[in-house]
Amino acid sequence: MTGRSDPIAATRHGRVQGNLEGGVLVFRGVRYGADTRPVRFARAASPKAWTDVRPAQNYAPAAPQTHALEPTSEDCLFLNIWTPGLDQARRPVMVYLHGGAHAHGSGSDPLYDGCNLVLRGDVVVLTLNHRLAGFGYGYFANLGGPAESGNVGNLDICMALEWVRDNIAAFGGDPARVMIFGQSGGGAKVVSLMAMEQARPLFHSAATMSGQHVTAIGPMNATRRASAWMAAVGAPDFDRFREMPMERLVEAMGGPDPIEGKGEISFASTLDHRALKRHPFYPDAPVEAADIPLIIGNTHDETGYWLAATLKAGDTTWDNLVPRITGQIVKDVDPQWLVENYRKLYPTHTPGQLLLAMSTATRSWPGHLVQAEMRARQGTDNAPSPTWMYQLDFPAPEAGCVLGAFHTLDIGLVFANTHLASARTGATVEAAELAAHMADAFIRLARHGDPNGGNLPQWPRYTLERRETMIFDRAISVERDPRGEERKLLAPITYIKPGG
Catalytic residue among 184, 205, 210, 385: 184
Non-local CB neighbours of 136 within 8 Å, separated by 6+ positions: 63, 102, 130, 152, 153, 154, 156, 267
- Answer whether 48's CB lies under 8 Å from 13's CB: yes
Burial of 94 by CB count in 10 Å (0-12 exposed, 13-18 middle, 19+ buried)? buried
Helix (H) or strand (E) holding 398: helix 398-401
Residue 458 neighbours by CB distance under 10 Å: 9
Q: Is 62 left (phi over 0), alpha (psi -120 to 50) or beta?
A: beta
| Secondary structure E strands in 339-453 | 387-392
- Distances from the Cα of 305 to the Cα of 299, 311, 451, angstroms: 11, 10, 27
Residue 409: what are its φ and ψ, rounded to 5°? -65, -20
How many Cα atoms occupy the beta-carbon half-sphere of 125 within 13 Å?
28
Q: What angle do CA 354, 360, 362 make, to 5 degrees?
A: 100
Strand partners, 205: 179
Decide if 269 is catalytic. no
- Distances from the Cα of 380 to the Cα of 358, 376, 461, 465, 469, angstroms: 32, 8, 11, 10, 17
Stated length of the chain = 500
- Distances from the Cα of 141 to the Cα of 50, 226, 273, angstroms: 34, 10, 11
Q: Are strands 24-31 and 78-83 parallel, antiparallel or unpaired?
A: antiparallel
Alpha helices in 141-270 (DSSP H): 152-167, 185-194, 219-232, 238-242, 246-253
Non-local CB neighbours of 104 within 8 Å, separated by 6+ positions: 65, 66, 67, 68, 132, 133
| Secondary structure E strands in 238-328 | 294-299
Residue 307 neighbours by CB distance under 10 Å: 24
Using alpha carbons, select from 131, 193, 139, 132 the residue that is nearest to residue 162. 193
- Answer whether 335's CB lies under 8 Å from 329's CB: yes
First to last CA, the chain: 48
What residues are labeled active site? 184
